[in-house]
Structure 1
Amino acid sequence: MTIKVLVVDDSGFFRRRLTEILSSDHDFEVVGTASNGREAVEKAVELRPDVITMDYEMPVMDGITAVKQIMQRSPTPVLMFSSLTHEGARVTLDALEAGAVDYLPKNFEDISRNPERLKKMLCDKVRAVSHTNKRALSRPAPVTPVASKPVTTRVAAKAEVPLTPREVARPPVTRPLTTEPSSPVTKSKPKAKNYKLVAIGTSTGGPVALQKVLTSLPGNFPAPIVLIQHMPAAFTKAFADRLDKLCQIDVKEAEDGDMLRPGLALLAPGGKQMMIDPRGQVRILPGDERLNYKPSVDVTFGSAAKVFNDKVLAVVLTGMGADGREGARMLKAAGSQVWAQDEASCVIYGMPMAVVKADLADAIYSLDEVGPNIIEACL
């Protein structure tokens, strides 16, 4: 089925170029263009596209305001274009909170320098975004209370030799991959345990999902948290700073040597890999080109399994692909708990589906249920 696209940008050159690229692929039909946000809202209602590509800076109405109005009047998957700068990260995060699904860097040099690469990147992204769960788009943005943070203390741990990303990314020979869960997973009371770590992995739709989950946690949350969100290097610090302002727990972009401690969430930096060593420290390593994702949920989950064995609570939230499945397999083999977000509340039911179909999920929860159940399992 042809994917209908509405292209929104105040630059005539950019509108024409995007239209040419998308129209060259038989999967897409550009059903209209708009040069400002107000026109975009009107055409979204009129044309009912499957995907909208959206610029931020436009006359009459900016992209974020347009996204908010589109989500109210005619919920449609929106792909934002953004600059890879700190300000671009802030704007993109605002757009995602307003309801946009995903983003691409807007780089005019790439258009002329590497057109084939640009075409593949754009078409792959639009194609993926077209599979968005529209029911999840129409939900209101998460409540973001700001509260004072408690004083926290660091924890000590013994020293050992850290593992390499390739070691933890290599799946063990355990539990065969099945095409369907062997038995339905009920939304029963979560298994309470003295967890040494909560590890959360996510991709498309993740910034809003993480905000929803983390803002529900109290400042005295007793376990360390690690977060793996597929995101460019230019965005992760801005995202961590944003979460830190909104949450009662502390949130920061992870740095090499940071100690895990209760009430602190460490976000894996974009373009690199985050691992955990036996001393309770995170190790930040260069992104291995042989691995598709940088950061990779599999790498962090795998290292957590080797260090903490059965004392990890892992959660796989919304996202494309299957990153996290093999790390979840290692965690399950070590006796840890793995949860998955349910299909109905996912923006993209890819990563959680991979975990569920491999029969690795101990529980499946809606996004609204994840935070409260983490609290019940850990407190």
Structure 2
Amino acid sequence: MTVRVLVVDDSAFFRRRVTEILEQNRRIEVIGSANDGREAVDKAKSLRPDVITMDIEMPVMNGIDAVKEIMRSAPCPILMFSSLTHDGATATLNALEAGAADFLPKKFEDIARNRDDAVRTLQDRVLAIATDPAARSARAATPPPAPVSRPSSRTARPQVDKPGTSALDRIRQRSDERQQRQQTSEGTTAATTNLTINRNYQVLAIGTSTGGPVALQKILTQLPQNFPYPIIMVQHMPAAFTKAFSQRLDGLCKVKVKEAEEGDVLKPGVAYLAPGGKQMLVDGSASNTRLRIREDDSGRITYKPSVDVTFASLSKLFGGKVLSVILTGMGADGREGARMLQQHGATIWAQDEASCVVYGMPQAVASAGISSRSISLTDMAKAILKEVGYQ
């Protein structure tokens, strides 16, 4: 079934370029375009696209405000285009918090080493975040949804996906949950009052890609300051973004969050984010572990940072004393690293399909029989806390 796309950008040249690239794929149809955020909101309501590509800097209404309004009035997966600068990173993270599903660099030469790869990447991202056929049919047949009501309390428990929930309903639900960031569920608050450290573990490792920034924020903001293990995080993200993302998380979380640096000593209650464009490994001993950050100019490994690379190094140093989680993301990065961890006796969990933006990476470990549990994003922090010893 064809994925229907609305292209939004204030540059007519860029709109044409994106349209031409997308329509090279027979599974994609561009059904309209808009040159500012306000027009994007109006056309999202009238055309009901399956995916919107969105610029950030635009006249009349910018991309971030347009995302917020679309997610309130006509929920739809949105792919942002961003500049690879610190300001661009901050704006993109704001858009993801507002409800955008994913992002790509606006300069196509920054997406991949050659044009053909860049074209395929854009097409693949649009197809990956598109909602399923049932949701598309429902969106075409029903009037625009009413604005989502928001709980007045910051500690209200987020909604949980119910069996049979459509993809469109999940988009609406995730939009509402993003508006409630920094909240702590009642169950998690109670769980942090009593800790008996689970000595079966020495580190928590998390790997993710598309949809990961929001997923990581949702989990980390629920962890207490005295979390008993160091946290290793690999998020597929450009080099210009990981610093801004780690700083944002550090300002929101009780645990300390930092972009990993060469020689960092792992400490409990500190979350280390792999720097974009490089590989992160662990070295030393289980009782005195340091991070090694390595340049990677080879074409052998697609992702930089790579979950597989980091997880493999964890398996060699910590063996089975790793609690590892694979969250939402395209592709299968993390499967082989998780397999190595599993062979040493480590615990592997995967995010469930219903709560994923893209059920690629979690599906890879689940289908291979590597993960022992599939857990909703809503319940992931609570499950982690219970596993490590909070009662």
- TM class by smaller structure: 0.7 to 0.9
Report the equivalent of 1:207: 213
Shift of 1:376: 1.5
Give the Cα–Cα distance (whole angstroms) in 2 for the partners of residues 370 and 293 of structure 1.
25
> 1:281 is aligned with what amino acid?
R
Moved over 3 A (4+): 108-111, 113-118, 131-136, 191-194
| CA-CA distance at 1:129 after TM superposition | 2.3
Indicate whether 1:282 and 2:284 are aligned.
no
**Residue-by-residue CA offset, 1:26-59 (whole Å, 9 max, x unaligned):** 2221101111111111111111111100011111
After superposition, the Cα gap between the structure-2 partners of 1:34 and 1:367, relative to the gap in structure 1 and judged at 3 Å, is same
Q: Which moved more, 1:209-218 or 1:115-124?
A: 115-124
Q: Tell whether the 8 Å contact from 1:131 to 1:348 is kept in structure 2 after alignment.
A: no
CA shift digits 1:146-181 (9 cap, x unpaired): 9xxxxxxxxxxxxxxxxxxxxxxxxxxxxxxxxxxx
Task: Kindly indicate whether the alpha-carbon contact (under 8 Å) linking 1:136 and 1:347 is maintained by their aligned counterparts in 2.
Answer: no
User: Which aligned pairs between 1:238-317 and structure 2 lie closer than 5 A?
Assistant: 238-279=244-285, 280-287=289-296, 288-317=298-327
Matches within 5 A, 1:72-151: 72-107=72-107, 116-130=116-130, 133-138=167-172, 139=174, 140=176, 141=178, 142-144=180-182
The one of the two structures with greater contact order (alpha-carbon pairs below 8 A, sep at least 6) is 1
For the 8 Å contact 1:254–1:282, the answer to whether it is kept is yes
Distance 1:109 1:207, change over 3 A: closer
Instruction: Classify the secondary structure of the residue corresponding to 2:374.
Output: strand
* Structure 2 equivalent of residue 169 of structure 1: none
Structure 2 CA distance for partners of 1:248 and 1:54, relative to 1, 3 Å = same
Partner of 1:63 in structure 2? 63
Percent of pairs with identical residues: 60
For 1:263 and 1:250, the matched residues in 2 are separated by 6
**Correspondence 1:177-188 to 2 at 5 A:** none
Shift of 1:14: 1.4
Contact map agreement 1:275 1:303 (CA 8 A) in 2: yes
- State the AA in 1 paired with 2:322: V
What's 1:152 paired with?
A: none
1:144 aligned partner, one-letter code: Q
> In 2 relative to 1, CA 109–258 (structure 1 residues): closer, same or farther, beyond 3 Å?
closer
* 2:380 counterpart letter in structure 1: V
What is the CA-CA distance between 1:192 and the residue it aligns to?
4.6
Q: Which runs of 5+ in 2 are unaligned?
A: 133-166, 185-196
What residue number does 1:329 align with?
339
Which residue of structure 1 aligns with residue 370 of structure 2? 360
Answering whether residue 376 of structure 2 is matched by residue 370 of structure 1, we say: no
- Give per-residue Cα distances to partners, 1:110-154, cap 9 Å, x unaligned: 89x9654543332222222225754442222052269xxxxxxxx
> Are residues 121 and 321 of structure 1, via their aligned partners in 2, closer, same or farther at CA, if it must alter by over 3 Å?
closer
- Deviation at residue 65 of structure 1 after TM alignment: 1.1
Q: Distance in 2 between matches of 1:86 and 1:80?
A: 16
Q: 1:246 and 1:145, CA in 2 relative to 1: closer, same or farther beyond 3 A? A: farther
Query: 1:163-182 residue pairs with structure 2 within 5 A?
Result: none
Aligned-partner SS, 1:370: helix
1:345-369: CA deviation from partner (whole Å, max 9, x where unpaired): 1111111111111111122211111
Structure 1: distance between partners of 2:125 and 2:89: 18
2:117 and 2:343 mapped to 1: Cα distance?
39
Counterpart Cα distance in 2 of 1:128 and 1:364: 20
Task: Note if contact 1:144-1:246 (Cα within 8 Å) is conserved in structure 2.
Answer: yes
Q: Quick check: 40-49 or 122-131, which moved more?
A: 122-131
Shift of the 118–350 alpha-carbon distance from structure 1 to 2, 3 Å rule, reads closer
Cα distance in structure 2, aligned partners of 1:119 and 1:245: 36
CA displacement 1:317-371 (0-9 Å, x = unmatched): 1111111111111111111111111111111111111111111112221111111
- The Cα of 1:22 is off from its aligned counterpart by 2.1
Of 89-98 and 132-141, more deviation after overlay is shown by 132-141
8 Å CA contact 1:340, 1:352 repeated in 2? yes
TM-score, length basis structure 1: 0.84
SS at 2:234's partner residue?
strand
> Are 1:343 and 2:349 an aligned pair?
no
Tell me if the contact between 1:83 and 1:105 (Cα under 8 Å) persists in the aligned partners: yes
Structure 1 alignment gaps of length 5 or more: 147-190
